[in-house]
């Protein structure tokens, strides 16, 4: 396709797979990174210092902003919260403001967000019906998305991809984290097991981003997730069956809270029944729409 695409977070789970995909399509990919590599396709930026090689973003067709410190896998101490918040809001603000002042800005900015944006709901909701939630993560997602405003106000098409659990057998993903336990027959059901989990297979995630790149009518927030969420109990049952291992353990919610602190609340509460209405309305189809096909595919890739 020969597009010029800049990606922040290109070394992460989604960014690395997206980079490979785009390069295979014939696109030229530039990585936004916190290191200077003269004469390379790496573009230096650092949200902590406010530095960015703005001139090298001139003439880009698309910018995909995925960078941000991970929030899971660690206790939510005040210091962790501050670092995670800053990496998302300061980083997004720096990119959006930089793009808004370019002489030849990109036609599209795709910026990451999360399904944690939404308030709890018992009824299925799409992007238009969902209301912002309360609490640290939901409010961070709200500010994260709002930080893209300078780019949108300058006329750039901005799409906010609200991302759920991305299923992958490697890297920073829930599936990869639980695989060793399930392979040893120690895979647990978490909490009641009735809480919902929205998800998307990594390859469907990449295809959805490509769809957004080529579908000019998509603007604003987009739920990048399969149409049918799954309960934690069903996730454990399916993964155990695929690996031919029993699922005999359950970790009660109070144990999770003692072991993990505040982060456990999100695990125990689960997700609302979200729908990918904007993707489906524009003709996108998931190759792996159910939990079994998604896990089987990711374990083979």
Task: State the pLDDT at residue 63.
Answer: 98
Q: In angstroms, rounded to a whole number, what is the distance separating the alpha carbons of residues 16 and 14?
A: 6
pLDDT band for position 39 (50/70/90)?
Answer: confident
More confident position, 72 or 19: 19
Whole-model pTM above 0.85? yes
pLDDT reading at 6 higher than 90: yes
pLDDT band for position 8 (50/70/90)?
Answer: very high
Q: In angstroms, rounded to a whole number, what is the distance separating the alpha carbons of residues 90 and 68?
A: 10
Task: State the pLDDT at residue 171.
Answer: 82
Q: What is the pLDDT of residues 222-277, one digit of tens each?
A: 999 999 999 999 999 999 999 999 999 999 988 888 888 887 788 888 899 999 99
Task: State the pLDDT at residue 61.
Answer: 98
Token digits of residue 272: 């609302």
Task: State the pLDDT at residue 267.
Answer: 83
Mean pLDDT value across residues 87-103: 97
Structural domain spans, the chain:
4-300
More confident position, 124 or 3: 3
pLDDT band for position 138 (50/70/90)?
Answer: very high
Mean pLDDT value across residues 20-47: 92
Q: In angstroms, rounded to a whole number, what is the distance separating the alpha carbons of residues 116 and 54?
A: 31
Task: State the pLDDT at residue 108.
Answer: 98
Task: State the pLDDT at residue 144.
Answer: 97
Vertex 15: Cα angle to 291 and 66 (nearest 5): 100
Q: Return all residues near 215 (Cβ < 8 A) that are at least 6 apart.
A: 282, 283
State the pairing for strand pair 62-65/108-114.
Answer: parallel
pLDDT reading at 28 higher than 90: yes
Task: State the pLDDT at residue 231.
Answer: 96
State the pairing for strand pair 165-167/230-231.
Answer: unpaired
Q: In angstroms, rounded to a whole number, what is the distance separating the alpha carbons of residues 81 and 88?
A: 11
Q: Return all residues near 214 (Cβ < 8 A) that are at least 6 apart.
A: none
Cβ neighbours around 149 below 10 Å, total: 15
Q: Select from 3.40.50.720, 3.40.50.970, 3.40.50.620, 3.40.50.300 the CATH code of 4-300.
A: 3.40.50.720
pLDDT reading at 74 higher than 80: no
Q: Can you give the three-state secondary structure of the chain, one letter per residue?
A: CCCEEEEECCCCHHHHHHHHHHHHCCCEEEEEECCCCCCCCEEEEECCCCEECHHHHCCCCEEEECCCCCCCCCCCCHHHHHHHHHHHHHHHHHHHHHHHCCCCCCCEEEEEEEHHHECCCCCCECCCCCCECCCHHHHHHHHHHHCCHHHHHCCCEEEEEEECEEECCCCCCHHHHHHHHHHCCCCEEECCCCCEECEEEHHHHHHHHHHHHHCCCCCEEEECCCCCCEEHHHHHHHHHHHHCCCCCEEECHHHHHHHHCCHHHHHHHCECCECCHHHHHCCCCCCCCCHHHHHHHHHHC
CB 280 within 8 A of CB 207: no
Share of the chain above pLDDT 70, in %: 100
Task: State the pLDDT at residue 197.
Answer: 95
pLDDT reading at 300 higher than 90: no
Mean pLDDT value across residues 157-166: 97
pLDDT reading at 72 higher than 80: no
Task: State the pLDDT at residue 209.
Answer: 98
More confident position, 33 or 267: 33
Vertex 154: Cα angle to 153 and 155 (nearest 5): 90
More confident position, 210 or 268: 210
Task: State the pLDDT at residue 38.
Answer: 78
Mean pLDDT value across residues 28-37: 92
Task: State the pLDDT at residue 122.
Answer: 86
- Mean pLDDT, the chain, rounded, equals 93
pLDDT reading at 163 higher than 80: yes
């Amino acid at each position: 396709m020969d597009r010029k695409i800049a990606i922040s977070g290109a070394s992460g789970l989604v960014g690395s797979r997206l980079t490979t995909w785009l390069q295979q399509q014939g696109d030229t990919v530039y990585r936004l990174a916190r290191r200077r590599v003269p004469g390379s396709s790496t573009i230096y930026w650092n949200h902590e210092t406010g530095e960015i090689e703005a001139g090298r973003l001139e003439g880009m067709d698309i910018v995909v902003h995925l960078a941000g410190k991970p929030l899971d896998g660690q206790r939510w101490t005040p210091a962790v919260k501050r670092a995670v918040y800053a990496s998302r809001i300061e980083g997004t603000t720096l990119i959006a403001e930089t793009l808004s002042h370019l002489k030849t800005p990109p036609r599209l900015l795709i910026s990451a967000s999360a399904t944690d944006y939404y308030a709890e709901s018992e009824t299925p909701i799409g992007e238009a019906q969902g209301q912002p939630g309360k609490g640290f993560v939901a409010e961070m997602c709200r500010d994260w998305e709002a930080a893209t405003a300078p780019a949108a106000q300058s006329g750039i098409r901005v799409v906010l991809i609200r991302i759920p659990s991305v299923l992958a057998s490697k890297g920073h993903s829930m599936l990869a984290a639980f695989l060793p336990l399930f392979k040893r027959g120690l895979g647990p059901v978490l909490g009641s097991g009735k809480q919902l989990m929205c998800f998307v297979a990594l390859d469907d995630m990449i295809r959805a981003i490509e769809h957004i790149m080529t579908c000019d009518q998509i603007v604003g927030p987009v739920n990048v997730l399969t149409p049918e969420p799954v309960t934690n109990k069903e996730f454990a049952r399916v993964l155990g069956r695929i690996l031919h291992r029993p699922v005999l353990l359950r970790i009660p919610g109070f144990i999770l809270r003692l072991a993990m602190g505040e982060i456990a609340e999100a695990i125990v509460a689960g997700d609302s029944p979200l729908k990918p209405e904007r993707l489906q309305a524009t003709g996108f189809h998931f190759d792996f729409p159910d939990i079994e096909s998604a896990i089987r595919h990711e374990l083979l890739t």
